[in-house]
Amino acid sequence: MTVSKPVVVVKLGSSSVTEEGGAVNRAVIASICGQVAALVAEGRRVVVVSSGAIAAGWATLNVDRPAPSDPAVLQAVSAVGQPRIVGVWIDELAVHGLTAGQVLLAPLDFVHRRQYLHARRTLDHLLDLGVVPVINENDAVADEEIRFGDNDRLAALVAHLVGAERLVLLTDTAGLLTADPKEVAGASLIEEVVEIDHQLELRARGPGSPVGSGGMASKLAAAKIATWSGVETVIAEASRPGVLASSLAGTPGVGTVFRARPRVVPARKLWIAFALTSAGTVVVDDGARRALVEGGRSLLAAGVVEVRGTFEPDDAVEVQDADGRVVAKGLVRWPSGRAAEWVGRRSDQLPDGLAREVIHRDDMVVLGD
């Protein structure tokens, strides 16, 4: 039986692949391509997720005014920048005898199961052919938000899609720091994170965090997706010499390592938790929260105190406790329009035609403890 070669997903943000004015930073891409070639020579397969299309497009147009904020204009600009970004990847990988293949993905590729499996097959075939896929979101035609959290979330979903052994998020900072060094003197690198808990997420979004300069909240969210799917993740500095080899070797001080969870979330539940957009919110009482988190039970109407948003059966909804914490996410079985008929009621009080569970445990992922 043929043993598949391990896969590494490498993501570079816009700040790494473009210069201050938006022009493509060929030197950085050339360095990473050399490192990718070394990994391939060692017997690994590599997938690259590259940002920078919008910045490169605006620089190419050479418009003497600030970059636009209108999503429709950004989509148009990305169509100009994307071929320039991928062209540099193609040229620099070719220096090492490697072939690049451009793959553009959109949110719907992770929402619809058939498209999800089709994307997986495409990437598997490219890797089997010895191609290095260079992935970006299909910004020019995406009908939702222009980015997957600066492509961090996209990279994490891709890592799961291809069954990667490691996800390396390369940025312009050394990794996850204790605080923003611009605001807090003596901020230091956090070298290892065993579990991404609620407090860490709050600190990454709070004052004095490195969010402003490095988009660390986005990377932390991506690391959570990846580690929940069993993929160890490293956040490291793109400009560090030999950063890919060092990240894979576990060299001390090379970025922040996020350990994969010992219990991996099944593919379908990972898809529910992180790929589907929430259509609404169901607020539960403390008894229901304990039943979900500690007992692994289905959510019943008796434990629901409030419903927010508009949703239909099989839409994804978040489950919040009384303090506003998201404790779970799942596929709801009832429409929000009938909320007044079932909120807080016992199962024997429900009207005919409604399922006994608001969200069945098989369709739910517990996210909080």
Q: What is the pLDDT along the chain (369 residues), one digit of tens a residue?
A: 345 789 999 999 888 998 888 889 999 999 999 999 999 999 999 999 998 888 888 888 876 777 777 878 888 888 999 999 999 999 999 999 999 999 999 877 777 778 888 999 999 999 999 999 999 987 666 655 434 546 888 999 999 999 999 999 998 888 888 877 777 777 789 999 998 877 777 666 543 333 323 477 888 888 988 999 899 999 999 999 999 999 999 999 899 999 998 877 777 788 788 877 889 999 999 999 999 999 999 999 999 999 999 999 999 999 999 988 899 999 999 899 888 788 898 888 888 777 889 999 999 999 865
- C-alpha 290: how far from its chain's center? 28
Q: What is the DSSP string of 100-141?
A: EEEEEE-THHHHSHHHHHHHHHHHHHHHHTTEEEEEEE-TTT
Domain boundaries, the chain: 7-268, 278-366
pLDDT given at position 331: 95
Domain covering 278-366 in this structure, CATH number = 2.30.130.10
CATH of the domain spanning 7-268, picked from 3.40.228.10, 3.40.1160.10, 3.40.640.10, 3.30.365.10: 3.40.1160.10
Eight-state DSSP code of residue 27: H
Burial class (CB in 10 A: 0-12, 13-18, 19+), 255: buried
What angle, rounded to 10 degrees, do the helices at 71-94 and 26-41 form? Answer: 50
pLDDT given at position 275: 74
pLDDT given at position 114: 85
Q: What is the pLDDT of residues 126-163, one digit of tens each?
A: 999 999 999 998 766 665 543 454 688 899 999 999 99
Q: What is the DSSP string of 189-247?
A: B--EES---HHHHHHHHSTTSTHHHH-HHHHHHHHHHHHHTT-EEEEEETTSTTHHHHH
pLDDT given at position 213: 33
C-alpha atoms less than 13 angstroms from C-alpha of 355 in its C-beta half-sphere: 14
pLDDT given at position 221: 86
Verdict on whether the full-model pTM lies above 0.95: no
pLDDT given at position 341: 82
Under 8 Å between Cβ of 85 and 56? yes
